[in-house]
A and B are shown apart, each in its own frame.
Chain A
């Protein structure tokens, strides 16, 4: 649940836990509390971005003017790790 305080959002414990799951990170109880306030602080600062009027503005995904950058199929593979790695990687059994 989000608590709204003067237009500033305070991140809840559940949200931090959810973020940790999304990020594949394990947090201790202390860390959850710490990050609650720290991430909220950061969110508060960046709220100023709403001062900028962006209606009708295109988003920039790439500062460059490049387009259609490809490689040719069948090009020589100069980066093969064929004889560097041998065999399988292993992890604990996945469900």
Chain B
């Protein structure tokens, strides 16, 4: 059976109605990975046989998924967890992350680990020690990052859905540049246990999918309190999928600050989308938000400080290789982080950034007393060419300028494709919501999908890989 373009839930229905078996589904995607991955380099590793799992009477029925290689996974077939860094080139995890444990407990199968910026440091996947992933829309361009492999894999339909992580835009950015749906849940919504830590107070495991329903469906499976992660919320997990509501009307906030320095073509498509929302009966309201440039500074200081700390354990003694295997970007971030924490500088940088963080949180709280959701472009440009990042000083954070504020505040946000630019590259729109209000974000995204089918962007992307 040709599954091309079928969403995860479509496939699930086919399996449960016995039109196809889960092993046939696995073989189907395995074939596609073998065919397209050599060029795309979306997967760092994949398995020729599925790991044995219960594939009946559960939520995922043996459907294969891609998982970003910063999630610790166990496999009877020996599967590495490298974070795309040579430091962990020989690292086989001794334990399973909570997210992948939950997926597996629900019948999901990890078909392979996807490529990423090494240690999640970046917005292009070019800092991977295993070569960059290519953007499926244009092989001379980057997919975005750091979950570039996860985004490219879904965009080219070599796997129906993937798991990524978003610290300062790492799911939203590549989702925007690859034209897929990327969800960053609220901080604390999904367990970080078993996710190689980058910015401990920012890291959010999330989903990359081809439909909003898939995103809602997967979120329900992976979200919720975990006793092994003290920073997970006790907030109940709604049935996001069953609760998808296409009737609710929302007040949507727009801030001029988030449209500064944005490509005109991108702006155009966002404004176009806003018109569609208005037509649907939602209200658009102008609001004032603190400039994202300031959030970038806050994020850069705090994230790099946490990075310098989280990477201190990699000394090659108990696992992996020693610190001489660190790449350029990792070294840069570690040292910058050490600087802002060091004696004499802590107050001026780290502490100052923590206080400024409070201001951003309050700023969003204030905005959400006036509006239900906030919309902005996801990225200021569409996908850059390979190597182009060298002209930007601290590339990662600049490209994620519109994503970092939500990361700083710990609130949820999603990317949905809303058109293509004149180069034929996907344009992404970001919907930001209140803490633990993923439902509203998903609802609005769902309404857009039903109305426009994302202007065929996702279908167009997959068509290139038919």
Q: Which residues of A contact B (CB under 8 A)?
A: 11, 15-16, 19-20, 22-27, 31, 35, 38-39, 41-43, 45-52, 54, 57-64, 66, 69, 71, 79, 81, 84-85, 89, 91
Choose among A50, A57, A63, A71 the residue that contacts B201 (Cβ–Cβ < 8 A). Answer: A63
Extra contacts, 20 of them, besides A49-B301, A61-B201 (Cβ < 8 A), are A11-B339, A16-B335, A19-B338, A23-B312, A23-B331, A25-B331, A27-B331, A31-B331, A38-B332, A38-B394, A42-B300, A42-B336, A45-B296, A49-B352, A51-B294, A52-B359, A54-B352, A59-B357, A64-B233, A66-B233
Whether the pair B361, A60 counts as a contact (CB closer than 8 A) is yes
Q: Which residue of B has the minimal Cβ distance to A61?
A: B354
How far apart sit A73 and B323, CA to CA, in the bound complex (Å)?
A: 36
Choose among A38, A64, A91 the residue that contacts B188 (Cβ–Cβ < 8 A). Answer: A64
Whether the pair A49, B294 counts as a contact (CB closer than 8 A) is yes
Would you give the shortest CB distance from B313 to chain A, in whole angstroms? 11
How far apart sit A11 and B335, CA to CA, in the bound complex (Å)?
A: 12
Residue in B95, B227, B356, B357 with the greatest tally of chain A CB atoms within 10 Å: B356
How far apart sit A79 and B194, CA to CA, in the bound complex (Å)?
A: 12
Whether the pair B342, A19 counts as a contact (CB closer than 8 A) is yes
How far apart sit A22 and B345, CA to CA, in the bound complex (Å)?
A: 14
Would you give the shortest CB distance from B285 to chain A, in whole angstroms? 25
How far apart sit A39 and B359, CA to CA, in the bound complex (Å)?
A: 26
Instruction: Please count the residue pairs between chain A and chain B whose beta carbons lie under 8 angstroms apart in the complex.
Output: 126
Whether the pair B293, A89 counts as a contact (CB closer than 8 A) is no
What residues on A are CB-neighbors of B351 within 8 Å? 59
Main secondary structure of the interface of B (DSSP, over half): helix
How far apart sit A22 and B341, CA to CA, in the bound complex (Å)?
A: 10
B contact residues, total (Cβ < 8 Å): 50
Would you give the shortest CB distance from B253 to chain A, in whole angstroms? 20
Q: Which residue of A has the minimal Cβ distance to B353?
A: A49
How far apart sit A34 and B323, CA to CA, in the bound complex (Å)?
A: 19
Residue in B335, B355, B361 with the greatest tally of chain A CB atoms within 10 Å: B335
Within 8 A of A (CB), among B324-364: 324, 326, 331-332, 334-336, 338-339, 342, 349, 351-359, 361
Q: Taking A16-B335, A52-B356 as contacts, is the C-beta distance between A42 and B393 under 8 angstroms?
A: yes
Whether the pair A39, B336 counts as a contact (CB closer than 8 A) is yes
Q: Taking A63-B409, A63-B410, A66-B230 as contacts, is the C-beta distance between A57 and B294 under 8 angstroms?
A: no
How far apart sit A15 and B349, CA to CA, in the bound complex (Å)?
A: 16
What residues on A are CB-neighbors of B293 within 8 Å? 48
Whether the pair B94, A45 counts as a contact (CB closer than 8 A) is no
Whether the pair B201, A23 counts as a contact (CB closer than 8 A) is no
What residues on B are CB-neighbors of A89 within 8 Å? 317-318
